[in-house]
Structure 1
Amino acid sequence: MEYLSISQVAEKWGIKQRRIRRLCEEGRIPGAHKMGAYWSVPADAEKPKDERIKSGKYI
């Protein structure tokens, strides 16, 4: 299985690195795991739905 770094996933999904770290910490990206100080995300992982938006206006 191929893994990507946080910066690679941020570029692929078009969101900030900090947000991806937060998603990993919350366990919202299946298969993501921490190796030392770095997160590894599976290359085939899908971007989780943004649950911060409640109105549905910006989806």
Structure 2
Amino acid sequence: MTKRFLTVGRVAKELGVAPATVRKLCQQGLIPGAKRIGRWWRIPVESVEAVKRHGTEAPHA
């Protein structure tokens, strides 16, 4: 089965946050399975659903 990936922009819309926030979460390893392909991040659909359900374990500032 082929894994489906989303762009940073699409994930930002799904989560209701800015694209910069999604990139930061990817860089910090808080979105499981996010991969850097060249300059671009690709995020598995399953990971986005998990973040929507459970959030991330990012410390709150």
Q: What TM-score results when the alignment is normalised by the length of structure 1? A: 0.80
Structure 1 or 2: larger helix share? 2
Q: What TM-score results when the alignment is normalised by the length of structure 2? A: 0.78
When the two structures are aligned, how many residues end up with a matched partner? Answer: 53
Structure 1: runs of 5+ lacking an equivalent: 54-59
Identity %: 28
Q: How does 1:1-20 map to 2 (within 5 A)?
A: 1-20=3-22
Which protein has the larger Cα radius of gyration, Structure 1 or Structure 2?
Answer: 1
| Residue 51 (structure 1) shift | 2.8
Q: Which runs of 4+ in 1 moved over 3 A?
A: none
Structure 2: runs of 5+ lacking an equivalent: none
